[in-house]
Structure 1
Amino acid sequence: MINPVWLRTFCTLVETGHFTRTADKLFMTQSGVSQHIRKLENSLSVTLLVRDKKRFTLTDSGRTLYTRGCDILQSMTNLATEVGEDPADAGEVRLMSPGSVGLKLYPRLLDLQQAHPLLALDYRFAPNPDIERALLDDRIDIGLTTRKPNEPGLHWEAVGEESLLLVMPKNLPHPDWAALQTLGFIDHPDGQHHAEILLDANFEEFSQHSFNSLPRRGFSNQIGLILEPVSRGLGFTVLPRHAVEAYPARSLVCVHELAFPVMETLYLVSLFGREQPARIHTIATEIKKQLGTPLEA
């Protein structure tokens, strides 16, 4: 291991060509400069300088060390600068959210990235439990969840709301419990969570029998495809509003207004106690700005 202080003294000596000038430049004594050179030669077991009274010439080893040493010292300076910098508009940000809110946020965050090209977004869609686990495993920087995290190592704040909707095939009558039982449920990664919130508030039978009493007619983990089986008459589902609004074949499904509307709170989640770099605050600020308006807008 080369001592960087000795290396800097050596490179400065080569550049000035004089022990006294080197001592003045580094605020050292001339004997201190000589000691650094001897210690460097001893640590490398080579001769770096051939001294002739007040003059010196470099050996082959000395020339090699000077060339490579200058690069090393410059790299160390650059590294110190990079470590000390905390730009608000550059660097990678890793985040996850459920698919529905992601359909709203991802295009808006890409707009932000276009304005600040040195930002890099790693945006993934996932259900609530996967987002919490990714945060605890340090695989993402921030996450959005549709339920308040239970893990003690996570910090959260409510940043918005989104309504949950009962979606059925087109032209079916207004739903009652018997109709839902006959039709069956199209499940998705947050399907049980969404169904339990909305159906429990509107159907007494659901409270009595729970989610498992619903026949399951299918499952999709792709946010853009969850309504495809619904549009074909294969079942019903419960989804956040923006996922429904984003479905291209909206005319083939029917959203039913229920007696007791349910709003789902959106939480911005991060690791508790972690100091976030400025770029994370930039993204978090934009998320709060976007979720401060109705998601269906």
Structure 2
Amino acid sequence: MLNPKWLATFEHLVKTRSFTKTASQLFMTQPGVSQHVKKLEAELGENLIYREGKQFELTHAGSMLADFIANQKLQHHAFLAQLKADDAHRGAIKVACSGTMAMKLYPLLLDLQCEHPALSVSLEAAPVERIRHMLMSNDIDIGISTQRIDHPAIEEKEIGQEHLAVVVPSSHEIKEDIYASLAELGMVIHPDGKHYADLVLGRNFPERYQGVDSIKQAGYINQLAQILLPVAQGLGFTVLPASVIEQFEHVDKLKQLPLEIAISQPLFLSQKKHRKLPHRYTRVLELIHHAIATTK
């Protein structure tokens, strides 16, 4: 990196076109000014000026260096202006969350972007480990997960609860022995299915439930919006956040199974410690809380 003091001396020399004036303005000697120019020339391996008596002219390399210094100053001022100008209606919104929350939050964020087109929304549905990685690499500014990240560089707080439900076909008759009926029907598995089933079935049927592997598998699907299709067609049951059921097109073909113990899981909002969010996230946080308030 070129020495900033040498560059400042050269910048003044270009402006004044005089070694005497430059030395006077910078409280240096004329030999000191010449020494700074020579050090720059040695560093760059190029002549920067050529003398004509008491006058001098810039070489091609000298003109390029003068332009470089001017551009650096412009970039510096532009950066400071951008740093201070935190527009609440401009910039990137980068969020990662569970698939369930994405279904609720994404339409709200798109409405916000339609209202303020200078905003740019990036939303990724991701598991907690992916959210942690994206926060640490600064690929997102906010994460919403159903499990704690527990990383010293990340701060997180619980912002709500998400109710979990056992969903069965509305046409299916659930007998008095609820667990036996579920086992006979079989479970439609999905990426979070084991976690949800362990929480709900493990609490409600602790003496009989021995993990999803002990229940007949009625199918597998990894697309959140498609998980309820086989259930609606009577092919099995599944365990999902209740809010997913509410958004399903054929909700009349489903029913939630009443359980003795209602199970909810916490929702955590996470962000990088000591990294202040831009003003545009004030509205985003309001939308997140709104989405959670309707996620029961």
Question: Which category describes the TM-score, using the shorter chain as reference length?
Answer: 0.7 to 0.9
2:250 matched residue in structure 1: 249
In the alignment, the residues of structure 1 paired with residue 70 and residue 154 of structure 2 have an alpha-carbon distance, to the nearest angstrom, of 45
In the alignment, the residues of structure 2 paired with residue 27 and residue 135 of structure 1 have an alpha-carbon distance, to the nearest angstrom, of 46
Q: Following TM superposition, by how much is the alpha carbon of 1:102 offset from its aligned partner in structure 2, in angstroms?
A: 1.3
2:189 matched residue in structure 1: 187
The superposition leaves residues 35-81 of structure 1 with CA deviations (integer Å, 9 ceiling, x where unpaired) of 32232233334433333454322334333433344334433544565
The superposition leaves residues 203-232 of structure 1 with CA deviations (integer Å, 9 ceiling, x where unpaired) of 35544x333321111111111001011111
Structure 2 portions without partners, runs of 5+: none
Question: Aligned runs of 1:1-297 on 2, under 5 Å?
Answer: 1-23=1-23, 27-29=26-28, 31=30, 32-52=32-52, 54-79=54-79, 82=82, 84-85=83-84, 87=86, 89=88, 90-135=90-135, 139-149=139-149, 154-174=154-174, 176-207=178-209, 209-271=210-272, 273-278=273-278, 282=282, 285-286=285-286, 288-291=288-291, 293-295=293-295
In the alignment, the residues of structure 2 paired with residue 261 and residue 30 of structure 1 have an alpha-carbon distance, to the nearest angstrom, of 83
- Quickly say closer, same or farther: Cα 1:86–1:200, change in 2 above 3 A: farther
Q: Check whether the contact 1:184–1:236 (CA below 8 A) recurs between aligned residues.
A: yes
**Paired residues, what number?**
292
Q: Following TM superposition, by how much is the alpha carbon of 1:243 offset from its aligned partner in structure 2, in angstroms?
A: 1.1
Structure 1 portions without partners, runs of 5+: none
**Runs (4+) off by over 6 Å:** none
In the alignment, the residues of structure 2 paired with residue 41 and residue 130 of structure 1 have an alpha-carbon distance, to the nearest angstrom, of 50
3-state DSSP of counterpart to 1:224: helix
The superposition leaves residues 264-291 of structure 1 with CA deviations (integer Å, 9 ceiling, x where unpaired) of 21111235x4534426854763355324
In the alignment, the residues of structure 1 paired with residue 172 and residue 262 of structure 2 have an alpha-carbon distance, to the nearest angstrom, of 20
3-state DSSP of counterpart to 1:15: helix
The superposition leaves residues 206-263 of structure 1 with CA deviations (integer Å, 9 ceiling, x where unpaired) of 44x3333211111111110010111111110111122111111222222233333222
Aligned alpha-carbon RMSD (Å): 3.2
Q: Check whether the contact 2:194–2:211 (CA below 8 A) recurs between aligned residues.
A: no
More divergent stretch after superposition (260-269 vs 108-117):
108-117
In the alignment, the residues of structure 2 paired with residue 117 and residue 132 of structure 1 have an alpha-carbon distance, to the nearest angstrom, of 29
Q: Which amino acid aligns with 2:15?
A: E
TM-score (norm 2): 0.81
In the alignment, the residues of structure 2 paired with residue 73 and residue 136 of structure 1 have an alpha-carbon distance, to the nearest angstrom, of 32
3-state DSSP of counterpart to 1:87: coil
Q: Following TM superposition, by how much is the alpha carbon of 1:21 offset from its aligned partner in structure 2, in angstroms?
A: 4.4
Q: Check whether the contact 1:163–1:264 (CA below 8 A) recurs between aligned residues.
A: yes
In the alignment, the residues of structure 1 paired with residue 56 and residue 256 of structure 2 have an alpha-carbon distance, to the nearest angstrom, of 88
More divergent stretch after superposition (139-148 vs 128-137):
128-137
The superposition leaves residues 86-126 of structure 1 with CA deviations (integer Å, 9 ceiling, x where unpaired) of 73645444332111111111122223334444443331112
Q: Check whether the contact 1:164–1:239 (CA below 8 A) recurs between aligned residues.
A: yes
Q: Which amino acid aligns with 2:236?
A: G
Q: Check whether the contact 2:109–2:284 (CA below 8 A) recurs between aligned residues.
A: no
In the alignment, the residues of structure 1 paired with residue 120 and residue 283 of structure 2 have an alpha-carbon distance, to the nearest angstrom, of 11
Q: Following TM superposition, by how much is the alpha carbon of 1:293 offset from its aligned partner in structure 2, in angstroms?
A: 2.2
Q: Check whether the contact 2:6–2:40 (CA below 8 A) recurs between aligned residues.
A: yes
In the alignment, the residues of structure 1 paired with residue 62 and residue 293 of structure 2 have an alpha-carbon distance, to the nearest angstrom, of 66
- Quickly say closer, same or farther: Cα 1:118–1:22, change in 2 above 3 A: farther
Identity level (%):
33
In the alignment, the residues of structure 1 paired with residue 134 and residue 219 of structure 2 have an alpha-carbon distance, to the nearest angstrom, of 27
In the alignment, the residues of structure 2 paired with residue 47 and residue 204 of structure 1 have an alpha-carbon distance, to the nearest angstrom, of 84
- Quickly say closer, same or farther: Cα 1:187–1:173, change in 2 above 3 A: same
In the alignment, the residues of structure 2 paired with residue 160 and residue 282 of structure 1 have an alpha-carbon distance, to the nearest angstrom, of 18
